[in-house]
């Protein structure tokens, strides 16, 4: 899970005096752009198969049901497994990748997630991500296993790119790493921590800013 963009233009269907739906076509279109067609929880490309998810559960925060800042796109797998009583970090407000250490333990085949700052939202986010990638009580169902396998494949491939670059410091090998850090790519949080772990972070720092730069620019523009 990484920081995601949240455009300042609120979709028109949410601005009606009595909104009919929270997942209108304009909401869906805006979320696809803001989140680069990825689920905000698992970072997988949802390939048009997504649901509009309420960050703060609509059952508890009824007044946030039609609130743009509370809406994110999630894949059906993640949306269906996010408990209504979990209040997680808002990825449009926090650099999640800086707060949560997100790593893959290839030996034990599970993900390790820890929070660097204490807090209940941080703890709930850790719990949710562990549940999504490791399964409920560490037992994955078929979809959970598919998600884990996909993440593992990408992590192993990215590690190979880092190793190739370590062994052969060529512009071509460097570019391959940069390409895999593009905002449209999947599992960027895990790649972020692989860079740190392998002492490559300083070299690729300018390629892992994702939404931060855009956000800083927007903030400057507003002043």
Q: Which residues bind to Zn ion, rule: CB under 5 A? A: 39, 41-42, 75, 78
Choice between 74 and 99, CB closer to Zn ion: 74
Choice between 42 and 151, CB closer to Zn ion: 42
Choice between 53 and 122, CB closer to Zn ion: 53
**At its nearest, how many Å lie between Zn ion and the CB of residue 43?**
7
Q: What are phi and psi of 180, to 5 degrees?
A: -80, 0
Tokens of 213: 């730069």
Tokens of 182: 């593009």
Choice between 132 and 177, CB closer to Zn ion: 132
Choice between 42 and 104, CB closer to Zn ion: 42
Tokens of 19: 């909104």
Number of helical H runs and strand E runs in the chain: 9, 4
Choice between 5 and 81, CB closer to Zn ion: 81
**At its nearest, how many Å lie between Zn ion and the CB of residue 134?**
14
Tokens of 134: 């490791």
**At its nearest, how many Å lie between Zn ion and the CB of residue 97?**
16
**At its nearest, how many Å lie between Zn ion and the CB of residue 203?**
30
CA distance 203 to 215: 22
**At its nearest, how many Å lie between Zn ion and the CB of residue 109?**
19
Give 33-36's long-range contacts (Cβ < 8 A, gap of 24+): 33/7, 34/4, 34/5, 34/6, 34/7, 35/4, 35/5, 35/72, 35/73, 36/183, 36/184
**At its nearest, how many Å lie between Zn ion and the CB of residue 74?**
5
Q: How far apart are the first and last CA of the chain?
A: 29
């Amino acid at each position: 899970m990484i920081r995601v963009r949240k455009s300042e233009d609120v979709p028109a269907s949410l601005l009606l005096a009595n909104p009919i739906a929270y997942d209108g076509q304009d909401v869906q279109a805006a979320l696809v752009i803001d989140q680069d067609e990825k689920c905000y929880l698992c970072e997988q490309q949802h390939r048009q198969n997504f649901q509009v998810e309420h960050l703060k559960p609509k059952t508890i925060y009824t007044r946030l049901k039609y609130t743009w800042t509370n809406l994110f796109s999630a894949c059906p797998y993640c949306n269906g497994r996010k408990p209504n009583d979990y209040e997680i970090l808002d990825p449009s407000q926090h650099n999640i990748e800086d707060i949560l250490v997100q790593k893959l333990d290839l030996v034990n085949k599970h993900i390790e997630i820890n929070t660097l700052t204490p807090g209940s939202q941080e703890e709930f986010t850790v719990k949710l991500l562990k549940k999504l990638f490791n399964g409920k009580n560490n037992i994955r169902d078929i979809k959970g296993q598919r998600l884990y396998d996909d993440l593992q494949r990408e992590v192993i491939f990215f590690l190979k790119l880092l190793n190739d670059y370590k062994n052969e410091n060529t512009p071509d090998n460097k570019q391959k790493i940069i390409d895999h850090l593009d905002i449209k790519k999947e599992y960027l949080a895990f790649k972020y921590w692989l860079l740190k772990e392998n002492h490559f972070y300083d070299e690729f720092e300018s390629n892992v800013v994702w939404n931060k730069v855009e956000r800083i620019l927007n903030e400057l523009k507003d002043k």
